[in-house]
Structure 1
Amino acid sequence: MKKIICNGLLAFALVVGYGCDSNPKASTETAATDNLSGSGEDSSAASTTDSTMNETPTSTPANDFMLKAASGGMMEVTLGKMAQEKGSNADVKAFGKKMEEDHGKANSELKTVAASKNVTLPVELLAEHQKHVDELSKLSGADFDKHYMSMMVEDHQKDIAEFEKASNMEDPDVKGFATKTLPVLKMHLDMAKKANDKVASK
């Protein structure tokens, strides 16, 4: 009788022991799953941090400036070539050639700055610049001269204001490009005003 009782107690102990052992195992598996989940989150966070660190340090205002300056520079070159072909005034033609040369050089310098920061510049004109090209492409002779030079005065006034802002930006490369280009733009404005005065009176 004692033997039966002992065997029963032993069996009961084994059942209870198994039940107790199974719970820690489940807890261990849950903990492991939680750890894996937590590890995934940490990995994701680290990945996000790495991705952020690999992004260009250039600020959004600097990027916007480069994009707009690139489009504006391409417009100046395009219209400069057009002035040499469609213009009738010698000063207008000379101004157009100057625009092609100077802005072509500035465009190359800007590409170098942008490339160093992994910033992709536009290969096509922005809508505001394409509009000017479309309008002037329909004109020729004296009409072209007047509209082109009037537009060049207004355009360079806006450009100078934008480049002056950029010359105060924190990004040293963008700041350097803007500062270097400003005197050229101011010279262009003076030339544009003189040529505009000549063609506007005719």
Structure 2
Amino acid sequence: MAGIALASQSSSQAGQAKADSQGIERLDREFLTVIRFANLWEIPMGVLAQERGSTQTVKDVGKVLAQDHTKLNTIVAQLARQFNVKLPDQPTSSQKSWIADISSKNGLEFDRTFADRLRAAHGTVFGLVAEVRAGTRNAAIRDFAQQANNIVMKHMTLLEGTGDVSSDHGMFAEASARTIAYPENSLGRSDMLVGGIVVVVMIATTLAVVRTFSTRGSAE
């Protein structure tokens, strides 16, 4: 009986190991790809901030971002090999435009553009990281999502601490790196306008239904 129990346990462990090595879902793959995209443009921007930041705070934040994303890049490459995920080798076209925008600035204007853009990007990817951390069935992906979650939180706090993040967060949706259909899924003004109209219509419909039921209840 003991031998049977040990064999059963061994079989169970083998099954779990197989699940961990093969059980990567669509969202897990998207997560690895998004982190890779983030690394591709945020590492050089962190390096640039160390060179061009007008304050020591901005320089220090740039150094932390570059170091942390270099570490994430090493891990994401290892996981991609393990789970056979093809990673991009260049930033998205939108990210390239952000690199050009930040690189064209100097002095205080550089500080503001750097902090605003990087804070926006971290803010939008944060939701995906949290979703994967909460829902993935793969232990390796979960551990990486936890690391990424901690780093994204740290970076948002550091960028906000520069005092250069704008109070107008309208660009946050635009800065999103999350997508399945590469190379990007940026929201333009027309997309945001349509989305806003849909939300307004839904709210109005809900209120109308609530009022109708309230009226019927009073009449009865």
TM-score class normalised by the smaller sequence: 0.5 to 0.7
Deviation of 1:198 after TM superposition, in Å, equals: 5.3
Deviation sequence 1:100-145 (CA, Å, 0-9, x none): 1011001101111111011121111122322211211111221110
1:73·1:107 contact (CA, 8 Å) conserved in 2?
Answer: yes
* Mapping for residues 92-171 of structure 1, pairs under 5 Å: 92-168=58-134, 169-171=136-138
Deviation of 1:154 after TM superposition, in Å, equals: 1.6
Query: Which aligned segments of 4 or more residues in structure 1 are displaced greater than 3 angstroms?
Result: 198-201
1:77·1:99 contact (CA, 8 Å) conserved in 2?
Answer: yes
* Mapping for residues 1-202 of structure 1, pairs under 5 Å: 57-168=23-134, 169-195=136-162, 197=163
Q: TM-score, normalised by structure 1?
A: 0.66
2:191 aligned partner: none
Deviation of 1:200 after TM superposition, in Å, equals: 6.4
In 2, distance between residues paired with 1:74 and 1:198?
A: 23
Largest Rg, 1 or 2: 1
In 2, distance between residues paired with 1:62 and 1:181?
A: 13
Structure 1 counterpart of 2:84, one-letter code: N
In 2, distance between residues paired with 1:63 and 1:200?
A: 32
2:183 aligned partner: none
Deviation of 1:171 after TM superposition, in Å, equals: 2.7
In 2, distance between residues paired with 1:70 and 1:59?
A: 17
In 1, distance between residues paired with 2:166 and 2:121?
A: 17
Go from structure 1 to structure 2 and tell me whether the alpha carbon gap of 1:90 and 1:69 turns closer, same or farther (over 3 Å shift): same
In 1, distance between residues paired with 2:164 and 2:26?
A: 41
Deviation sequence 1:38-89 (CA, Å, 0-9, x none): xxxxxxxxxxxxxxxxxx6422221122111101122110110111122211
Structure 1 counterpart of 2:151, one-letter code: V
Deviation of 1:172 after TM superposition, in Å, equals: 2.5
Deviation of 1:191 after TM superposition, in Å, equals: 0.9
What is the aligned-residue identity percentage? 21
CA RMSD of superposed structures (Å): 2.1
In 2, distance between residues paired with 1:198 and 1:67?
A: 29
Q: TM-score, normalised by structure 2?
A: 0.61
2:5 aligned partner: none
Structure 2, gaps ≥5 residues long: 1-21, 168-220
Structure 2 counterpart of 1:175, one-letter code: R
1:142·1:199 contact (CA, 8 Å) conserved in 2?
Answer: no
Aligned residue pairs, count? 146
1:89·1:199 contact (CA, 8 Å) conserved in 2?
Answer: no
